[in-house]
Amino acid sequence: FARMGQRWEVVRPSSTSTSTFTSGYSTVCHEAHRFGPLLSLSGTPAVESVVLDGGRERRLVQPNDDVRLFSPRELMRLSGFPEDFVFPEALTVRQR
């Protein structure tokens, strides 16, 4: 994730707000930090982070940081889809 000083929004399971996820979320490119936040499983904010409202922070992400992209199922939960929802098989991954 870390690349040339990009600052990511990082949230935790206890966060109450987040920025918007865009269709490019999880895309590997030099602008990926603009597509949505990362999830941190660490309990404490990074030393050099900017603390935002709702339990969010904006910070540089280091290669050994305990952060990851949200999974497709987590994104569906955040969007209000029921747990048993399944996309029709005819849809491509991009359409989903």
> Looking at the whole model, is its pTM more than 0.85?
no
Supply the pLDDT for residue 2.
Answer: 47
pLDDT tens for the chain, residues 1 to 96: 545 567 888 898 888 888 887 767 766 655 555 678 889 888 777 777 888 888 888 888 877 888 888 888 888 888 899 999 988 999 887 777
| C-beta contacts of 18-23 below 8 A and 24+ residues apart | 18/54, 18/56, 18/78, 19/56, 21/70, 21/75, 21/78
Sheet holding 38-40, edge to edge: 50-51, 57-60, 7-11, 38-40, 67-68
Taking residue 64's Cβ as centre, other Cβ atoms within 10 Å add up to 7
Beta bridge partners of 50: 58
First-to-last C-alpha distance (Å) of the chain:
24
Supply the pLDDT for residue 29.
Answer: 57
